Amino acid sequence: MITGTIIVLISGILTGLCFLPMRYTTNWSFENTWFVWCIVSLVFIPPLIAWAFIPHLGQGYKEVGAPLILIVLSSGLLAGMSGFLYGLGISKIGLAGANALSNGISLALGSFIPLVFQHAGVIRTKLGFWLLLGLALALVGVMIAAFASHFRGEQASRVIAAGTDSAGARARLSKNVFLGIGVSIAAGLLFPAQNLGIAFADKFMKVARTFGSSEVFMTYAFYVPYFASSFVSNGIYSVIMWRCKG
């Protein structure tokens, strides 16, 4: 229990810090930074870890079966779309605003959707009432975060307009703020697809455990197909942006 809690805390810290280098890649377009991040974290690292620590990985996927793999690939594709929308939101309204909006929505819905699919009867219980209340409060928090991001953007646009005497600069910044809020909310709506995929990850982990994987690394049997399809949607986005700017 203590070990798991520590791992979750470290994971949360690293998740919050992983986009920090974007502040120092100001000479790169967003899609360039995002593509490098995705190809390292989604394509290279998970298969490398799975190959190193899960014996007979290919045979394990045969045991899992094509239908379940297709479900995981589909959820990864949708969650991948949320990934580049989230990154785009960071580039428009900053890490704090994008985190509050996208993570707030995704955490609320990501907890609720698997519950409906797997334990629908719980909704009609007292526990279900408290879960729904918590969901409502989380969405209120998201609305407050959206308002705060908009207010911050308005303040910044006034400062720019006052310094440059340019209504166009103010309009562009305001547009960026609205775009950032919109894509961050969209990211939060799509990201629970990850939770839906993880809800079906048990068989991947059980098969990996059967073939000799430790509990620490058996999750990577699920991560390999899931992250691979996530990279597809992110890669398509980057290619489209390169062609538009090329």
Task: Pick the closest to residue 198 from 220, 229, 222 (CA basis).
Answer: 222
Cα torsion 129, 135, 136, 137: sign: positive
Q: What is the pLDDT of residue 195?
A: 65
pLDDT less than 50: residues of the chain: none
Interval 120-133: pLDDT, tens: 666 677 766 777 77
Residue 170 · residue 158 · CB < 8 Å: yes
Distance in angstroms (rounded) separating the CA atoms of residues 54 and 52? 6
Interval 72-112: pLDDT, tens: 888 888 888 887 788 777 777 776 677 777 777 776 666 66
Distance in angstroms (rounded) separating the CA atoms of residues 85 and 83? 5
Q: What is the pLDDT of residue 55?
A: 93
Task: State the pTM of this model.
Answer: 0.63
Task: Pick the closest to residue 103 from 88, 86, 118, 121 (CA basis).
Answer: 86
Distance in angstroms (rounded) separating the CA atoms of residues 236 and 31? 10
> What is residue 25's three-state secondary structure?
coil
Q: What's 41's DSSP letter?
A: I
Q: Which helix (H) or strand (E) holds 214?
A: none
Helices 220-245 and 45-53 pack at an angle, to 10 degrees, of 160
Distance in angstroms (rounded) separating the CA atoms of residues 127 and 88? 36
Q: What is the pLDDT of residue 155?
A: 56
